Amino acid sequence: MPTETCNIYLRNIPVSLRAQLAIIKYKRGWKTWADMAREVVKKWGGGRLTEEENQGEELIPVETCFIVLRDIPVTLKAQLIRIKYNRGWKAWADMAWDVVKEWGSDLPDPKKRDE
């Protein structure tokens, strides 16, 4: 029986942040962006952060792009919605910042490149 799937859009991501995510995707062997979503659910499924860690990055909509996480099983999206709420993400793009913080420590800071 086919799994019901849906999409999540990470909008207004700075181009440099998307480039870093692409490197992380390659290094971690993720074939799709949905693989990143699965890893996020495994990593942060029940975690809570301090108020300081919960603050999202303010994105300036200049030279931004988006990533579509396609064909995510609905059950996985439901878990991501809980993670989004628990971590205080205001938008799905906030997940991108946390992924780079978690798995991109050897990459340049995207905020410094966009200034």
Taking only the tens place, the pLDDT of each residue in 39-85 is 787 787 754 434 443 344 443 445 677 888 888 888 888 888 999 99
**Averaged over 85-102, what is the pLDDT?**
88
- If pLDDT is split at 50, 70 and 90, which confidence band does 108 have? low
Global pTM value: 0.57
Q: Where are the domains of the chain?
A: 14-106
- What is the distance between the alpha carbons of residues 110 and 92, in angstroms, rounded to a whole number? 17
**Averaged over 21-49, what is the pLDDT?**
79
How far apart are the two ends of the chain, measured CA to CA in Å? Answer: 49
Report the number of secondary-structure helices (H) and strands (E) in the chain: 6, 2
CA 8 to chain centre: 10
